[in-house]
Structures are given as C-alpha cells and as structure tokens.
Amino acid sequence: TLPLAMALRTSHSLKLNNTTAPRRNTHKIGRTNVRAMAASQDELKKLVGYKAVDDHVKSGMTVGLGTGSTAAFAVERVGQLLKDGTLKDIMCIPTSVRTKEQAEELGIPLCTLNERSELDVAIDGADEVDPSLFLVKGGGGALLREKMVEIMAKKFIVIVDESKLCKALGPGFPLPVEITPFCHEHTMRVVGSLPALKGCKPVLRMGSSATNKPDGDEIAISDNGNYLVDLHFDTPIADTAAAAEQLKNTVGVVDHGLFVGMTYQVVVAGTDGIRVAGTDGEAAWW
C-alpha cells in the first residue's frame, strides 16, 4: 500500500503545463466541501493513472490507451513522459475517438490493430470491479473498441478509485450492451429474456453515447455506428460468465460490457492509499 499522503505529495510534485497542482482544503463544510470532495476524487484518478503508466509502460512498447475520465490521466502521463524523454519508441492504440484526439494533442504516436495486433500493455478504467476482478465497462460508450484492444494485451491494467469496487456486478452500475440498429427493439427483448440476465430492464441509451444518463431526444450512436442498451438490475448477476456467453451468442448483439478473465491487475486509489489487486498484488480485499 502506498500511503495516500505520500501519493498525494508525489502527485503534487508532478508539474502540468509548468504549474503545480494546488493543494485543496477539505476541512470546510457545506458547498465548498462538496467541491473539495469532487476534486479529491479526480486526484485519486490521477494517482492511479500515473502509477499504472510509471509501473508498466516502458520504451519500445505497444500500449493500449483506454477511454474515460480515469484513463485520460494515463494518456496524459504517457504524453508527459514522451515529452521529457523518459519514454521513447512507443506506439499506442486508442480505444475511442475521444482518446485518439487527446493522444494526438499530446503528440503520442498512434496506430490501430490493423498495424499491430499484439500489445505489451493496455491501461483503462472500469465502471465496476468485483472480487474476481471481473469488470463492467462501457459507461462511456467505447466497450467494443476497448475490448478489441485490451484482449490483445499481454497485461491489462485496470485503474479505479475505491468507489468502483463492488461485491457483485449488476445493481451498482447498468451493464452496457452494443447492438445493431436493425430491429433493435427485437434485440432488446431477446436480451431481456436471456436466462442469465433474468430480471434486467433494457434501456436504450439516448443523447450522447458517452453517458448512460439520458441527455437528448436522439438515439445514442457509438463510434462504430451502433446503438447502446443499458441493462438495469435490481439484484446481482448470479453467473457473470454465463451472462457474458449468452450475450455474445445473441444475434444482433455486437458485444457487451462484461470483461471476464481479462484483468492482469487492478490499481485502486482510496482514502487509505493506493493498493494493487491481482498478479503481483494482493487478493481482492472488498
């Protein structure tokens, strides 16, 4: 475990755009304290994103770049280390249009799986992580590209803050599923009737594909031109592997947000510091 105070000192010493991140006062109450708590969660995301890159990305590697608010800090760190010469001769594969744009702004060399099918490491966040290190991903709408890239990595490093840890997948975060637009209502009914997903409520994502909160009147479209359905559960998924298999075998489903048996390591930032679960780490403690 890396004590949080030490981790925060390390993080504050990292300069971004030639400025050092200010220390935040978390002792005030009321509205100010809410803002401070939100800022501290961003700080936790930054800590795990930076640590994953520092520990696992070396010169000469092919690296998968994840998508989302936590993964963005890992992308940022890769850009920093390239700029200062710490990293050299690396090639990165982005998992979304958003990540591609961020990486390009930072001058990170990019390619696709068409050029390189094997990756040394991929780093990404998750919406939920259970004690088996099974994941729910896709809240940001990039689950297909994320899975295509990350399943090809020798090491898939998951970076989260402790709010993403759960006893079981399902009730805490809706499970995203990418489906074809053709007869999408039919596909939603089929998905909702799968035995391993009994009791779920399929909800078509509306507005932006990057959030599962409705924010528009148009159907959300993924980077791949597909629709996204979020499966809401009142009770935990009893058999995650069976749910993943049944979804994958459903005609009309492109892919789903269950990442089963893919995780090499989970880097977790919490109020008591940074802890690592999985290979070269400890057993899941939650």
- Residues with a catalytic annotation lie at 146
Q: How far apart, in whole angstroms, are the C-alpha atoms of residue 235 and residue 3?
A: 35
Question: What's the CA gap between 98 and 50, in Å, rounded?
Answer: 19
Q: What type of residue is 134? A: F
35 backbone dihedrals φ, ψ, rounded to 5°: -65, -40
Q: How far apart (Å, rounded) are the C-alpha atoms in residues 82 and 87?
A: 5
> For 131-283, where are the alpha helices, taking DSSP H only?
143-150, 184-192, 240-248
Long-range CB contacts for residues 189-196, cutoff 8 Å, separation at least 24: 190/250, 190/252, 191/229, 191/231, 191/247, 191/250, 191/253, 192/231, 194/243, 194/246, 194/247, 194/250, 195/242, 195/246, 196/237, 196/238, 196/239, 196/242, 196/243, 196/245, 196/246
Q: In the chain, how long is the greatest CA-to-CA distance?
A: 55
